[in-house]
Amino acid sequence: MFKVFRAFVTKEMYHILRDKRTLLILFGMPIAQILIFGYAVTNEFKDAYLDIYDQANDQMSKELVQHLQSSGHFKVNRMIQSEKELEDGFKAGTTKLAVVIPYGFSSELSNGNAVTVQLLADGSDPNNANTLVQYASTIINGFQQERLHQTDNPYQVEVEMRMLYNPQLASAHNFVPGTIALILLIISAMMTSLTIAKEKEIGTMEILLVSPLPPLLIILGKVTPYALLSFINAILILLIGYFIFDVPIKGNILVLLGVCFLYVVTALALGTLISTASKTQQDAMMRSLMGLMMPSMLLSGFIFPLSSMPKVLQVLGSIIPATYFIEILKGIMLRGVGAHLVIWEILILVGMTIFLLGMTFKNFKIRLE
Amino acid sequence: MSEQAIKVEGLTKRFGDFTAVDTISFQVEKGEIFGFLGANGAGKTTAMRMLIGLSKPTEGQGFVAGFDINTQAEKIKKNIGYMSQKFSLYNDLTVKENIRFYGGIYGLSKSRISEKTEDILAELRLFEVAKKPVRELPLGWKQRLSFAISMVHDPDIVFLDEPTGGVDPHVRRQFWETIYQQANAGRTIFVTTHYMDEAEYCNRVSIMVDGKIAALDTPDQLKKQFNSKSMDEVFLKLARNV
């Protein structure tokens, strides 16, 4: 039986190695995706451009500008002289954030009066505007506190923030677990459903079914090479994350790999299930894109936090395997927890896998009839 | 029961209210070339799927290569070859790799596979293209290779489902020569076709109409029975009667 299995896997490897498109999806996509997510899709920023409309133009206002610049987050783009210029900048899209310092900034401040510094942001890009305003107000608050310290008010309460597990709030820490979840899904589920659908499309599936091969062996033979490659990919992404983006792996690496393996099986079951329902490759592709990729990307908490979504979407998110897998990965990689602390998520994932395998087996049998 | 290669009694297949195959009975002798004809939708494919173990009969009995189609489908699969109307080799694999793969899934030993590979390459004169992907072969060659590979495990019976679709007359002639060779070597051939001239090459022919076997005899007898000059005419007369 093993000899037969080997013949099948050998054939499958030929298919994979000879198809440039498959190879590209297998190895090009994971690397491209992790690099894009790591570098480009990031919530942090450095050297954002800032326009300043310094109406006061006195000692204090100059110090504030200095303070903003020295934070390392902002660079002064232009010193604006009139309100018209301000408006033009926003309209042209060259201004993203402007700081307006009012007349008599120094004197009001030293007299202990309230002064309002105005922050104007381009709200057509809300995420960006939000982040910029938050950074800028934090810096201005800091400036104010510094000044106040020098004068009086000893009872100032200072808020000191510390982000646990991801002190620099680096996005890559969030994206690496998410990317692993997506990549494993693409390769294990989409590629297997495609390769099985392809056999149906070109008619070889019929020949395989007429041969003495047990159906289970056909599925296993198809799935094994992809399981292996997904696993290699998971390790590759972990390495890129570790060496290029400094994403730590604090927990037990064996538990981590074990969970990856479990998730690969889940994804393979999903892929086979999709292929039992699709007759052509295109069909299989559409089903995996719409049914797997989109929800896993949007509803798993990978990009948008689940807790801030409406109830309906939260429920949808909770039936997606990736949701739990990402949770487990974050726990093990970033927080360094042992398996016992994510046991609930692991159990849910095991349950889902058993359910999917059962469905797959049932559907495959029906199809044979 | 092992005298006949195929023996079928009252074989029926229903899908809901629709009866695709309606109590058909026939026998195929060993070494016979048996033509299985019928218009599209007459139930040929469904009947054949029951014989090769892809589909379970609703009613009726049948033996293929001495095994019961109701209970021993797995044993039947080991003893039959099958070539479908769709081209069934892997285009991105070479000629040799295709032979090796199909030999492999039928559980042939390594030495047996290399032996078989040599035989097939020699017989079809494919030595020069043995290491080329099958994609690059002309259709006629592919078809003959496909036929040879369907017999890689030396089955007693070979089922051919419209094996010559889309092939030019010259290649069809060649193809039938190989069919004859195999039949002379004692192999039973069960073939479906749309070409009535090919029906004349068969030892016996059955014609299915609406799920039933409307006629079954040698081509000569059929022509006499229906007072026709060619199988084409026989076929048309049968189809018009309904």
Decide if A233 contacts A267 (C-beta within 8 A).
Answer: no
From residue B109, give the alpha-carbon distance in Å to each of A7, A107, B104: 11, 97, 8
pLDDT of residue B14: 93
pLDDT of residue A44: 59
Residue A274 and residue A330 in one domain: yes
Measured between CA atoms, the residue of chain A closest to residue B160 is: A207
Decide if B13 contacts B24 (C-beta within 8 A).
Answer: no
Residue span of the structural domain in which B223 resides: 4-241
**Residue A147, domain member (yes or no):** yes
Residue A224 and residue A355 in one domain: yes
> How many angstroms separate the CA atoms of A220 and A207, rounded?
17
Burial B60-84 (b: 16+ CB within 10 A, else e): bebbbbbbebeebbebbbebbbbbb
Percent of chain A with pLDDT over 90: 9
- Does B91 contact A at CB distance below 8 Å? yes
Total number of domains in chain B: 1
Q: Which of A119, A151, A183 represents a domain boundary (last residue)?
A: A151
Contact A212 B107 (CB under 8 A): yes
- Per 3-state DSSP, what percentage of chain A is helix, strand, and coil (rounded to 5)? 70, 5, 25
Residue A23 and residue A83 in one domain: no
Least confident of A62-76, A266-280, B107-121, B215-229: A62-76
**Can you read off the two tokens belonging to residue A13?**
């490897």
Contact B55 A213 (CB under 8 A): no
Residue A201 and residue A280 in one domain: yes
Q: Exposed, middle or buried, B203 (CB in 10 Å: 0-12/13-18/19+)?
A: middle
> From start to end of chain A, where are the E strands?
48-54, 74-79, 97-101, 118-121
State the pLDDT confidence band at A161, using cuts at 50, 70 and 90. low
Residue span of the structural domain in which A223 resides: 15-41+168-368
Residue of B82, B92, B103 with shortest CB distance to A207? B82
- With H, G, I as helix, E, B as strand and everything else as coil, classify residue B107: coil
ipTM of the modeled complex: 0.87
Decide if A192 contacts A198 (C-beta within 8 A).
Answer: no
> How many angstroms separate the CA atoms of A233 and A250, rounded?
20
pLDDT at residue A369 tops 50 = no
Residue A108 and residue A218 in one domain: no
Residue A178 and residue A258 in one domain: yes
Residue A192 and residue A210 in one domain: yes
Residue-level pLDDT, tens digit, chain B, 242 residues:
457 899 999 999 999 899 999 999 999 999 999 999 988 888 888 999 899 988 889 999 999 999 999 999 889 999 999 998 777 899 999 999 999 999 999 999 999 999 999 999 998 888 989 999 999 998 888 888 999 999 999 999 999 988 887 788 888 888 899 999 999 999 999 999 888 888 999 999 999 988 999 999 999 999 999 888 888 888 888 877 65
Residue A102 and residue A174 in one domain: no
Residue A70 and residue A173 in one domain: no
> How many angstroms separate the CA atoms of B47 and B119, rounded?
33
Q: Which of A151, A182, A202 represents a domain boundary (last residue)?
A: A151
Residue A316 and residue A222 in one domain: yes
φ and ψ at residue B191, rounded to 5 degrees: -130, 135
Least confident of A96-100, A148-152, A284-288, B177-181: A148-152
Those residues whose C-beta lies under 8 Å from the C-beta of residue A66, and which sit 6 or more positions away, are: none
Contact B93 A10 (CB under 8 A): no
pLDDT at residue A259 tops 50 = yes
**Residue A332, domain member (yes or no):** yes
- With H, G, I as helix, E, B as strand and everything else as coil, classify residue B68: strand
More confident residue, B67 or A336: B67
- With H, G, I as helix, E, B as strand and everything else as coil, classify residue B198: helix
Measured between CA atoms, the residue of chain B closest to residue A201 is: B86
pLDDT digits (tens, 9 = 90+) for A87-98: 888 888 888 888
> How many angstroms separate the CA atoms of A124 and A126, rounded?
6
Contact B88 A207 (CB under 8 A): yes
State the pLDDT confidence band at A172, using cuts at 50, 70 and 90. low
Give the CATH number for residue A115: 3.40.1710.10
A159 C-beta neighbours (distance < 10 Å), count: 7
Q: In chain A, what residues touch B93 (CB-CB under 8 Å)?
A: 11, 14-15
- With H, G, I as helix, E, B as strand and everything else as coil, classify residue A118: strand
pLDDT of residue A183: 84
φ and ψ at residue A180, rounded to 5 degrees: -60, -45
The pTM for the full model equals 0.76
- Per 3-state DSSP, what percentage of chain B is helix, strand, and coil (rounded to 5)? 40, 25, 30
**Residue A3, domain member (yes or no):** no
- With H, G, I as helix, E, B as strand and everything else as coil, classify residue B91: coil
φ and ψ at residue B61, rounded to 5 degrees: -120, 155
Total number of domains in chain A: 2
**Residue A10, domain member (yes or no):** no
pLDDT of residue B101: 95
B 120-139 residues with CB below 8 A of A? 133
Å between B30 CA and nearest CA of chain A: 21
Q: In chain A, what residues touch B102 (CB-CB under 8 Å)?
A: 211
Contact B92 A3 (CB under 8 A): no
- Does B66 contact A at CB distance below 8 Å? no
> How many angstroms separate the CA atoms of A120 and A122, rounded?
7
Give the CATH number for residue B231: 3.40.50.300
Residue A178 and residue A128 in one domain: no
Residue A175 and residue A55 in one domain: no
Contact A213 B105 (CB under 8 A): yes
Q: CA angle, B135 as apex, B196 and B108 as ends, to 5°?
A: 85
Q: In chain B, what residues touch A209 (CB-CB under 8 Å)?
A: 54
Q: Return the DSSP state at A293.
A: I
